[in-house]
Structure 1
């Protein structure tokens, strides 16, 4: 065993893998003679995605009950990974534009470069405005039900330039999808883009056509659109842009309008994601839409957020697994999460990062194919946000000083996005102790990335096993590790 750093510490939380693997890998997979490189981020230390050890696999007999162990089985493979990224909102783009050019380059490299950064490979953006913008707007004149005034000129000032630079920094492409927060006011029952309301039935077709115009306009600018979600948070009446769809209403809009319109307009390859709200009602929404074959044929999968703990409960990770079990041929995509209630004195607040680590491990282990953070960049106030809904981002740009603030969440996300690459297969991973969480993926290049999280207050020494070969290491308290071999 070659130790590169003495600052390794005790290790993995309970990983659980789901049954019914999709693929059986090569029966002769072996780590004999391989080396596991360990990267660590830890609280109360200067370790931030730091390489902390290089470990030789060696023969190990039957594990003992007295040992802490993580078991990885590359032959048992599950969902295909599509990527990790964050949302390029108007707010992110407005802050980006106010930073010095050197800081802009630093931010883009930090997020999108797979070697010098954390290798983001997907992005979400909005169809006209959401709360994270300086104000509300649409792409048409109010009342234009023919969409004759449709124009994305608003986005050309900040958002489109940032998306293009992100694509360039990522090597030329990003998996880009878009979400609406509200139809134009005249299309809604409350005649307001804010405060909920519903899409009026007489505008179902016009709204479907609006999606098409958005996709074609963005693609004409050289930004391919992978897909759309039907509606951001369709069961929440918010003080910002919002619109309510019951499960039946969303099903019927997709079945009778959005899906057929995409197919008629040559957009059959665009992926439609339903729900795009919290894990609490996830199963009911998926059951209603995906059990209808005429609706399901248009749907790639179900998107979800993490804010169900607003009611005081715990995250409902098991609901993700239930949906994957019920609809194994459909996909799951985490479409939004952030730490709420911004306060600058909590930039380095470690539980904010651990929320990411815990969610990403559980969501992936329960069948999620991709994971999208919310705003990639906000200012020193947690905005701009036109209704005062200020939140955290992994990176903040101080528009007064021109400096960037990297929070621990950036590094926690990076333990996944940097080492798990699009096209990877999740593989079986499990820990022998509830004190450690873990997940693992087999990359297209044949490398395995195993992520281990220790949310506890004490270091943990553990063995990582593949068959009868193992490495021994430790993980610090409140730390995340990625082992690549």
Structure 2
């Protein structure tokens, strides 16, 4: 236990007491590869205008005041009008160095049991045609200047909404991947993008070697099932992407909880990517006014500084559980993200083991600051000491 004593926080003057904490970061303990961070542009949210070039800069740029995303999720629409819209968005993302993947909300109506985009299931004798449909969409995008990183089989196959959708059982998804997944040759194949992170459903697929062989990326959402690692995916070397989640609350606590969720996705579930729902929305990364939101700034603590291909590094348990710390390596440079969700300022000691770190720059967000850059900090004997303000997120970037 650390004793609490009243003292002025050197980084963010306030009336909170200051306590102490310590953590070790292992420079040679390599965890998963981080593929990046993203958002979606699918459909047209109410009272939200189309994204502009300047708004794409804010979402996909990595300068001050930008979010730093590198992944865009679009919809495989069945109509030409929406395909043109998503193609334009994909091009703008790719122009900014991002990768794009596409998810269908429904197969074409004529391939379904109820001849409708809403509800229903894929006709068994349409499976081969549907695989060709997915591959043809990837070819269409590539031929029009926006090659895809991947296509998904189905958005949220494990529930039946009142809007566009299609239900698949785990066995149906397994058999489609096994029997028709190899027909998708123009890009990577993503599945199952469950609404719930249901391990029984996922393991039904992964337990079949033929189905797993045709699956490149395991996608999941976080509307149930918890943030947990799929051991079979890890054993079979499959990347796991969190491809959709949202929180409509916009309080500072709710926004800070998004940072905690990202931390948990990487450190508890060993996910490789984190994709928020709408990029532009009142609860999104930019608001309906096109300006970066508090949530956008908080996500940027990860997305701006942790680059595609970064490796997460192992850490010990922090001696205070109200401060969550994760570590990453871009090439040879380390990035540390510290989330102090508690009510105390925390004098945090970070010990780098098997890694030489001499200088870092801190970036601080609180309820009143947005990724505010601080002065460079010089480390002695590979030890960083910094007082984290209560209710803050701080990213340290090695120089």
- Normalising by structure 2, we get a TM-score of 0.83
Moved segments of 4+, more than 3 Å:
5-10, 92-97, 321-325
Q: Give the equivalent residue in structure 2 for 1:37.
A: none
Q: 2:140 & 2:245 partners in 1: Cα distance?
A: 28
Q: How many residues align?
A: 357
* Structure 2 spans left out of the alignment, 5+ residues: 1-8, 354-380
| 1:146-225 paired onto structure 2 within 5 Å | 152-156=80-84, 158-168=85-95, 170=96, 173-194=97-118, 196-225=119-148
Asked if 1:357 is matched to 2:259, the reply is yes
Secondary structure, counterpart of 1:406 in structure 2: coil
Aligned residue among 285, 296, 312 for 1:410 = 296
Q: 1:328 & 1:293 partners in 2: Cα distance?
A: 9
Aligned residue among 170, 184, 193 for 1:262 = 184
Q: Give the equivalent residue in structure 2 for 1:111.
A: 59
Asked if 1:73 is matched to 2:19, the reply is no
Q: 1:452 & 1:330 partners in 2: Cα distance?
A: 28
Aligned residue among 367, 378, 382 for 2:270 = 367
Aligned residue among 11, 18, 30 for 1:7 = 11
Q: CA RMSD in A?
A: 2.5
Q: 1:234 & 1:436 partners in 2: Cα distance?
A: 36
Q: 1:226 to 1:93 in 2, by over 3 A?
A: farther
Q: 1:113 & 1:478 partners in 2: Cα distance?
A: 26
Q: 1:295 to 1:223 in 2, by over 3 A?
A: same
Secondary structure, counterpart of 2:166 in structure 1: coil
Instruction: Verify the 8 A CA contact 2:75 2:86 in the aligned structure 1.
Output: no
1:224-281 C-alpha deviation (Å, 9 max, x unpaired): 1111121111111111111111111001111112x12124xxx2xx221212124541
How far has the Cα of 1:96 moved from its partner? 4.7
Does 1 or 2 have the higher relative contact order (CA < 8 Å, sep 6+)? 1
Q: 1:246 & 1:9 partners in 2: Cα distance?
A: 55
464-473 vs 76-85, which deviates more? 464-473
Q: Give the equivalent residue in structure 1 for 2:174.
A: 251
Q: Give the equivalent residue in structure 1 for 2:286.
A: 395
Instruction: Verify the 8 A CA contact 1:9 1:459 in the aligned structure 2.
Output: no
Q: Give the equivalent residue in structure 1 for 2:246.
A: 338
Instruction: Verify the 8 A CA contact 1:94 1:159 in the aligned structure 2.
Output: no
Q: Give the equivalent residue in structure 1 for 2:333.
A: 447
- Normalising by structure 1, we get a TM-score of 0.69
How far has the Cα of 1:8 moved from its partner? 4.2
Q: Give the equivalent residue in structure 2 for 1:273.
A: 190
Secondary structure, counterpart of 2:88 in structure 1: helix
1:98-132 C-alpha deviation (Å, 9 max, x unpaired): x7xxxx3432222111224232111111111xxxx
Secondary structure, counterpart of 1:206 in structure 2: helix
Aligned residue among 421, 428, 431 for 2:307 = 421
Q: Give the equivalent residue in structure 1 for 2:43.
A: 90
Q: 1:203 to 1:96 in 2, by over 3 A?
A: same
Q: Give the equivalent residue in structure 1 for 2:204.
A: 288
Asked if 1:434 is matched to 2:321, the reply is yes
